[in-house]
Amino acid sequence: MKVGVIGVGQTKFGEHWDKSLKNLIQEAGLAAVNDSGMDKERIDGIFVGNMAAGTFSSQEHLGALTADWLGLTGRPAVRCESACSSGANAFRQAYMAVKSGEHEAAIVVGVEKMTDVRTDSALTSLMGAGDAEWETPIGLTFTGLYALMARAHMNLFNTTREQMALVSVTNHRHGLKNPYAQFRKEITVGDVLQSSMIADPLGVLDCSPLTDGAASVIIASESFIKNNGFAKEPVWILGSHAATDTIAFHDRHSLTEMRSVKLAAKNALEKSGTSLNKINLLEVHDCFSINEIVCLEDTGFCEKGKGGRMVERQEITKDGSIPTNIEGGLKSIGHPVGATGVRQIVDITRQLREEGFNQVNGAERAMAVNVGGIGASAVAHVLSKNL
């Protein structure tokens, strides 16, 4: 059974001191309902992506909460947690449920409210995505872990700080026109190199921010879509896959590779019947600048060790060979960890509908890759404007 995206919505990403977790869920969810043009009573399944509402917002039981605040009580609702890939995993669970025939139309909401706690508390919560027995007690943060990956990549492949800085520069430029982005500000390589060092070699402008926000999509079966005649053409989900790796970074067979990304991307492509050279739009996880470089390599868009040079050649820009994070990525848009994977689908859907804020001409097929932790989990999806 074919499954399509029929509605998308999101909040602005940023620091929302005047909005609660409930408010964010409601705003994004109802925006997706309005975008779809459907009667929300036709939704028969609810899937929520969230990492740490219990520690960030003192709120658990998000499935029921979401059903309540969207006026959809009575439907089955479930929360999906997979660190920073929670949103993509919620989308994948909804996709499989609709594809199986269990649901006709489902809503997916990814959400996180991260700024209501102190920064040190937020960082401690985020390290729950790593190894709490071996990594957290020695003071490692995810910036520290990705700094280890960056340093290994630099030593093995001569990747430069300037190449990593160009990831941030490019994504900030992409996000300038995005009204939902947390940071709509152009930066230079010099700005990145001179920014405060967080964990050598990563400065603050190599890092995605703490963010509040929510994103939502509505998906439905092909028969439901055809029988209800929606005004907007659906964007079709051609393939989906998820993969995992060791939770501890020191247990990996390579410090410069994310095996979960390789497996998720490869299998999503195979399931979609699509070859890599037919993907002309890419969303990857740039929580830190090195992560985008490694994702470009591990998805197969360049050879291992050549991601920095690919960025330097401007191949990821709007006019490049594979426009990547074209609406700003995590770096410019922000990274409410449970929402990012859903936001990627929202941005791809807008692009394939030709409604993008930074529209790529002629985009037909796209891939989204959402990473949890430092690659302990990853989820990939392939979408198309045509079946």
What distance in Å separates the CA atoms of residue 23 and residue 55, rounded to the nearest whole number? 18
Q: Which residue has the tokens 């330097």?
A: 312
What distance in Å separates the CA atoms of residue 349 and residue 376, rounded to the nearest whole number? 27
- The continuous run of DSSP H or E covering 176 comes out as none
Identified catalytic residue from 84, 287, 295, 302: 84
Identified catalytic residue from 16, 172, 241, 335: 335
What distance in Å separates the CA atoms of residue 36 and residue 45, rounded to the nearest whole number? 16
- How many CB atoms are located within 10 Å of the residue 139 CB? 8
Buried b (16+ CB within 10 A) or exposed e, 65-83: bbbebbebeebebbbbbbb
Q: Supply angle C-alpha 251, 298, 142, rounded to 5.
A: 50
61 annotated active-site: no
84 annotated active-site: yes
The answer to whether the beta carbons of residues 55 and 125 sit under 8 Å apart is: yes
Burial tier of 245 (Cβ tally within 10 Å: 0-12, 13-18, 19+) = buried
**Catalytic residue list:** 84, 335
